[in-house]
Structure 1
Amino acid sequence: MDFTLSPELEALRTQVADFVASEIIPLESRPEAYDGHGNIGESHLEELRAKARAKGLWCPQLKIETGGLGLSKMEMSVLYEEMNRSIFGPVVFNAAAPDDGNMMVLEALGTEDQKQRWLKPIVEGKVRSAFAMTEPAPGGGSDPGMMLTRARRDGDDWIVNGRKWYITGAEAAEHFMLLAKTSDDKRRGHTCFLFHRDDPNWRIIRRIPIMGPEEHGGHCELEFNDFRIPHANILGEEGRGIKVVQTRLGPARLTHCMRWLGLAKRCVEIATDYAQRREGFGVRLIDRESVQMMLGDLAMQIEIGRLLVMKAAWEIDRGRFGQKEISMAKIHVANLVHTAADRAIQINGARGYSGDTPLEWIYRYARQARLVDGADEVHKMILSRHLADLGTDFWRWDVAGADDADA
C-alpha cells in the first residue's frame, strides 16, 4: 500500500477542506440553519449544493460518466474524512447515507434503463432514495433468512406484502429499493425491487423517534399491502437480492467509517482548542497529564481507524470483497467516534454538554454507529468465522505474484 496522495487528490482534498471551513461550518452555530430534526435545513442545503457542484466537488464516489469524480475507494476516504469535519458536510456533496450507497449499487448493478430512470435523478440531486430491508421482530434484521416480507409473481408483476422499519430517509425519498423473499431457497430466495414513492398500496406507518439528530427523511416504518411492482423493476436478477445487499452494504459500511473519522477528528479539534485556552487552579487544561492522555490516545485511535479504513478500501479497489477488513474498520471506528465525542464533552465540561458546540449533536448521533449496517457483535461474529476458516492466515501478508484469491 502506498499512502502518498497524488497532487490532483491533494488539490481536491484542499478544496473540500476549504469549502467545509468557509461555507458549511459557520452554519452550525446558526439556529435557523437547522430543520426540525436537527439536520441542515433544505434552503441552506440547496444553496450549498449548488456551490459544491459549481466547484466540481459533487458525487466523488461515482464514475465520471455517471456524473461523479471517478475516485477509487482509497481516494474517496481522503475526501469523505474532510467532508465530515462538519456535521452538515456529506449531504452537501451528495455523499451522505443512504443516497451514497444507493447510488453506488445502482451504478454497479442497474441496467442502462434503470440508471436513467432511478439513478440519474439522485445523482442530479433532484430526488432522494431509501433502501428498505430491515423488519420489525420476528422479521429479518442482520439475518436476512428471517425476512417475512414476501413477493409473489403475478404475470409481468410481483405482488408484495410485508413491513419494514428503521428505513433511513424514507419520508423524504422518492426512489426506493425493496428487499423481499421470492422463494424459500436459502441462497437465492431474495429479490431486490425498485419502486417510486407515488406507487399505490404502500404507506409510511410512522417516522420513528430516535435518540439522535436524523438524516433527511428520518427512520420510518413502512407497510406493503398487495403492492404491485413490475418485473422490469428488479435490480440485478430474480433471486439474487443478497448479491445486491452485499454489493451495497460492504462499501456503505466503509464510507460510514470514512465520514465518522472526520467527526472524530473534529471532536479532538474542539477539545484541544478549549484545553489550550481554559485554565483551572492556575494550570491550562492542556498541560494536565490526564487531558494529555485522553487526547494522545484519541490521536492514536484515529490513526488506527484510518489505517483500517485504508486497508479495507485497498482490498475493494483491487477487486476483493474485503469483508473481514470492513468489519474490523466498522467495529473500531464506530466505537471511536462515540469515545471521541464523550471525551471531548468531558474536557469541555458544561460547554460540551450544551448546544454551544456540535459535540452534543455528535454524541447523540454517534451512538447509532455501533448499530447501523451491522451491530458490533455481528461484525465480531464475522471475524470469528474468518478466524476459524483461516487460522493464522487471518493475518497473512500478500506476496507479489501469489494467488490473488479473496481472503
Structure 2
Amino acid sequence: MDFALSPEDDDLRRRVAAFVNDEILPVEADRANWDAHENIADAPLARLQQKAKDAGLWAPQVPVEYGGRALSTVAMAAVYEEMNRSIFGPVCFNCAAPDDGNMWVLSKVGTEAQKEEFLKPIVDGSVRSSFAMTEPDGGCGSDPSLTYTTATRDGDKWIIKGRKWWTTGAGVAKHFIVIARTSDDDRKGLTAFLFHADQPGWEIVRRIPIMGPEEHGGHCELRFDGLEIPDSNRLLEVGDGLKVTQIRLGKARLTHCMRWLGMAKRAMELGMAYVEDRESFGQKLIDRESVQLQLAEAAMGIEIGRLLTMKAAWMIDQGDYARKEISMAKIQVADILHKAVDTSLQLNGGLGYSKDIPLEWMYRYARQARLVDGASEVHKMVISRTLRDMRRDFWHWGTPDDT
C-alpha cells in the first residue's frame, strides 16, 4: 500500500492548510462571525467561499468537468484533514456533509439531465442539498428495510407519502434526495428520487433541537403528503434505492473520518499550547509524566485512525468497497475524536470548559460521531460478520496466496 501523495496533491494539501491558517481561523476566532446555531454565519462564509474559489481550492473532490480536480480518495483524506483544522473549514471549500456525499452519488449515478439540473448548482455553491432517509416512529435508521415512506406510481410521476427526520441541512437545502418504498421486496423494495424544495406536497415539521452545534439547516423532521416527482427524477432503476444509499454512505462515512481527524489534531494543538505554557507547583505541565501519558495516548489513537482511514481510502482507489475497513475506521476515528477533545479539555481546565476556545464546541460535536452514518455497534456487527465469513482471510495482505 502506498499512501504517498503526488507532488500536485501535496501542493494542494499545503495550500489548503495555509488558507485555513491565514483566512479561516481568524474568522473562527471572532464570535461576531458565528450564527445563532453556532456555525459560521452566511456573510463571512460567502466571503471565504469566494476566496477559496479565487484561490483554486473550491470543491477539489468533484469531477474535472464540473470544475474540480477529481482527487483520489487517498488525496481527499489528506486534504480534508487539513480543511477541518478549523471547525468551520470544510464548508468553506464545499467539502462538507451532506453536500459532499450528494455530489458524489449524483456524479456517479445521475443521468446527464439530472447532473445538469441537480448536481451543477450544488457544485457551484449556489444551492445546498439534503439526503432524506432516516424516519421517526420505528422507521428506517441503520436498517433500511424498515422504511415506511412510500412512493406510488401514477403514470409518469411518483406520489410520495410518509415522514423523515434527522434530515441534515433540510432547513436551507434546495435540492433533495429522498429514499422511499416502492415494493415489499427485501432487497429491491426501495427507490431514490430527486426533488426541489419549492415543490408542493411536503413540509418541514420542525428543526430538531440537539446538543449542538448544528450544521447549516439543522437536522429536520419532514412530512410528505402527496409530493409529486416525475419519473425522470428517479435515481437509477426502480428498486435500486438501497444501492444508491450504499454508494453514497460508504464513501461519506470515510470522509467523516477524514474531517474528524483534522478536528482531533486541532484539539491536540489546543492542549499542547496550554500545557507548554502553563506552570503549576514549579513545573511546566508538559513536563509532568501524567500529562505526557495523556498526550501520547491521544496522539497514538489519532495515528491509528489515520492509518485505518488511509488504508480504506487506498482500497477504494483500487476498486474495492472496503466495507470492513470503513467500519473499522469509523469506529476508531469516532472514538479518538471524543478522546482527543476530552483530553485537551481536561488539560486546559476551566479554559477548555469555557467558550473562549472551541474545545467545548468540539466536545458537544464529537459525541454525535459514534451515532451518525451508522452507530458504532452497527459497524462492529459488520466487522464481526465479515470475520465470521472470511476467517483467517480477514487479515489478508491482498496477495493471491496469503492463507
TM-score greater than 0.5 by the shorter chain: yes
Q: Deviations over 1:289-338 (max 9, x none)?
A: 11100111111111111100001001111111100000000000011111
**SS at structure 2 position matched to 1:4:** coil
Listed as ranges, the matches of 1:59-78 within 5 Å are 59-78=59-78
**Aligned pair 1:125/2:111, yes or no?**
no
For 1:268 and 1:347, locate their aligned partners in 2 and report how far apart those are by CA, in whole Å: 10
Q: Which amino acid aligns with 1:186?
A: D
| Equivalent in the alignment of 1:286 | 286
Q: Which amino acid aligns with 1:42?
A: D
Provide the aligned length of Structure 1 versus Structure 2: 402
For 1:60 and 1:66, locate their aligned partners in 2 and report how far apart those are by CA, in whole Å: 10
| Equivalent in the alignment of 2:39 | 39
**Aligned pair 1:2/2:5, yes or no?**
no
| Equivalent in the alignment of 2:190 | 190
For 1:5 and 1:238, locate their aligned partners in 2 and report how far apart those are by CA, in whole Å: 40
| Equivalent in the alignment of 1:19 | 19
Q: Deviations over 1:206-257 (max 9, x none)?
A: 0000001111000000000121111111011111000100000000000000
Conservation of the 8 A alpha-carbon contact between 2:132 and 2:178? yes
Q: Which amino acid aligns with 1:113?
A: A
Q: Which amino acid aligns with 1:296?
A: A
Shift of residue 66, structure 1, vs aligned partner: 2.1
Conservation of the 8 A alpha-carbon contact between 2:190 and 2:242? yes
For 1:263 and 1:339, locate their aligned partners in 2 and report how far apart those are by CA, in whole Å: 12
Stretch moving more, 256-265 or 235-244: 235-244
Conservation of the 8 A alpha-carbon contact between 2:316 and 2:322? yes
| Equivalent in the alignment of 1:91 | 91
**SS at structure 2 position matched to 1:307:** helix
| Equivalent in the alignment of 2:396 | 396
For 2:335 and 2:398, locate their aligned partners in 1 and report how far apart those are by CA, in whole Å: 28
Shift of residue 137, structure 1, vs aligned partner: 2.2
Conservation of the 8 A alpha-carbon contact between 2:253 and 2:330? yes
Q: Which amino acid aligns with 1:114?
A: Q
For 1:361 and 1:209, locate their aligned partners in 2 and report how far apart those are by CA, in whole Å: 16
Conservation of the 8 A alpha-carbon contact between 1:58 and 1:69? no
Q: Which amino acid aligns with 2:115?
A: K
Listed as ranges, the matches of 1:203-282 within 5 Å are 203-282=203-282
Conservation of the 8 A alpha-carbon contact between 1:135 and 1:141? yes
**SS at structure 1 position matched to 2:170:** coil
Q: Which amino acid aligns with 1:313?
A: A
Q: Deviations over 1:248-269 (max 9, x none)?
A: 0000000000000000000111
**SS at structure 2 position matched to 1:210:** coil
For 1:8 and 1:113, locate their aligned partners in 2 and report how far apart those are by CA, in whole Å: 32
Shift of residue 63, structure 1, vs aligned partner: 1.3
Task: Give the CA RMSD over aligned residues.
Answer: 1.0
Q: Which 4+ runs in 1 deviate beyond 3 A? A: none
Q: Which amino acid aligns with 1:205?
A: V
**Structure 2: gaps spanning 5 or more residues:** none
Shift of residue 95, structure 1, vs aligned partner: 0.0
For 1:27 and 1:55, locate their aligned partners in 2 and report how far apart those are by CA, in whole Å: 17
Shift of residue 70, structure 1, vs aligned partner: 1.3
**SS at structure 2 position matched to 1:165:** strand
For 2:81 and 2:250, locate their aligned partners in 1 and report how far apart those are by CA, in whole Å: 18
Q: Deviations over 1:275-295 (max 9, x none)?
A: 000011111110011110011
Stretch moving more, 10-19 or 87-96: 10-19
Q: Which amino acid aligns with 2:358?
A: P
For 1:3 and 1:315, locate their aligned partners in 2 and report how far apart those are by CA, in whole Å: 11
**SS at structure 2 position matched to 1:71:** coil
Conservation of the 8 A alpha-carbon contact between 2:3 and 2:314? no
| Equivalent in the alignment of 1:303 | 303
Q: Deviations over 1:50-86 (max 9, x none)?
A: 0001111111211111221111000000000000000
**SS at structure 2 position matched to 1:314:** helix
For 1:273 and 1:335, locate their aligned partners in 2 and report how far apart those are by CA, in whole Å: 23
Shift of residue 111, structure 1, vs aligned partner: 0.3
Shift of residue 138, structure 1, vs aligned partner: 1.6
**SS at structure 2 position matched to 1:329:** helix
**SS at structure 1 position matched to 2:166:** strand
**Aligned pair 1:58/2:58, yes or no?**
yes
Conservation of the 8 A alpha-carbon contact between 2:3 and 2:74? no
**Aligned pair 1:139/2:136, yes or no?**
no
Q: Which amino acid aligns with 1:103?
A: M
Q: Which amino acid aligns with 2:384?
A: S
**SS at structure 2 position matched to 1:296:** helix
For 1:251 and 1:279, locate their aligned partners in 2 and report how far apart those are by CA, in whole Å: 44
For 1:121 and 1:205, locate their aligned partners in 2 and report how far apart those are by CA, in whole Å: 26
For 2:67 and 2:241, locate their aligned partners in 1 and report how far apart those are by CA, in whole Å: 26
**SS at structure 2 position matched to 1:176:** strand
Shift of residue 187, structure 1, vs aligned partner: 1.0
**Aligned pair 1:28/2:35, yes or no?**
no
For 1:12 and 1:72, locate their aligned partners in 2 and report how far apart those are by CA, in whole Å: 13
